[in-house]
Amino acid sequence: MQELYIQQALSVQIGIKKSLRSGILLDEGMPVVLFFPDNTKKLVVLKRGKYTESKYGRIKHDDIIGKNLLGKFVKTNSGARILVQKPTIDEIIYSLFKRKSQVIYPKDAYAIISEAGLKRGDKVGEAGVGSGFLAAHILSVIGNEGEYYGYDLRDDMIETAINNLSLLGYDVSGKIRKKDVKEGIDERDLNAFFLDLPDPWNAVNAIYPSLAPDARIVIFVPTLNQVIKFLASIDDSSKFKINRIFETFSREYAVSKDALRPSPIQSSFTGYIISLVKISE
């Protein structure tokens, strides 16, 4: 059972790797996005013998696998034409990663990375790894030259994050540890630190000795009570200065030639981002 799971994950991992390369035909294990006539879309992982159901009819994966269908149309059993394309990395992450917790969405992940000033080769820590969605973005920016250290309190989260990140080819099995960062961490000279914890005010002083003198710290919290508690914890003796507090949004419009307008009901809140700079004295 466990072996089967590993084998499947491996197959998807290989498929994703292929998918992110150019000039590769659509093959079993590869994720593809199906674009339907009503401007909805669905990401599916191709598998021999499998079908994907839709309101336009059933799509046979064998009609796609091994065919040169990239950017072309596959026909459903009822004759509808469905566009087949490769997904972007973010479409892969947000469709294929398992979710064991509230996840951080691209709009927030990129804002967090921008605030942290993250770049290739950086050495970073993250407390509250969760399902590893932010970690995927961090790893992509710091690259192989960078160093990533994750901390979480729950075994199942750590396992989920490791499995999720392996899909993108990142091996972080030794890099995410079960640890309460409030007790301090061993790493030193981290360029950036990310906190997605219920009580970041209890953690920032503990991680202080691990930060490089020019480190940026970025906190993500889902409630205003937490923002206010964090603000209350900062005073003149604090070793951090708050740089910005903000929210991000994305407003979706219906893709309609004759009736362009925002989607009437949509996501309108995820969380608050607090960014800090270190004070060295």
State yes or no: residue 257 binds its own copies (CB under 8 A). yes
State yes or no: residue 86 binds its own copies (CB under 8 A). yes
Q: Which of 1, 2, 4, 23 is in the footprint of its own copies by CB under 8 A?
A: 23
Helix (H, G, I), strand (E, B) or coil at 127: strand
Q: Is 187 exposed, middle or buried (0-12, 13-18, 19+ CB in 10 A)?
A: middle
Cβ of residue 56: shortest distance to its own copies, in angstroms? Answer: 15
Tokens in use for 254? 């219906």
Q: Which of 14, 20, 43, 153 is in the footprint of its own copies by CB under 8 A?
A: 20
First to last CA, the chain: 55
Paired strand residues for 150: 126, 176
Q: Where are the beta strands (DSSP E) in 86-210?
A: 123-127, 147-152, 176-178, 190-195
State yes or no: residue 237 binds its own copies (CB under 8 A). no
Closer residue to its own copies in complex, CB, 143/173 = 143
Closer residue to its own copies in complex, CB, 205/248 = 248
Rounded CA separation 243/276 (Å): 5
Q: Which of 65, 116, 129, 135 is in the footprint of its own copies by CB under 8 A?
A: 116
Residues 190-209 that bind its own copies (CB under 8 A): 191
Binding window for its own copies (CB under 8 A); candidates: 43-51, 88-96, 148-156, 201-209:
88-96
Binding window for its own copies (CB under 8 A); candidates: 53-61, 127-135, 180-188, 272-280:
272-280
Q: How big is the CA angle at 99 (ends 264 and 151), to the nearest 5 degrees?
A: 125
Helix (H, G, I), strand (E, B) or coil at 220: strand
Closer residue to its own copies in complex, CB, 112/158 = 112
State yes or no: residue 244 binds its own copies (CB under 8 A). yes
Q: Which of 71, 79, 171, 183 is in the footprint of its own copies by CB under 8 A?
A: 71
State yes or no: residue 64 binds its own copies (CB under 8 A). no
Q: How far lies 25's CA from each of 84, 92, 172, 177, in Å?
A: 12, 17, 29, 38
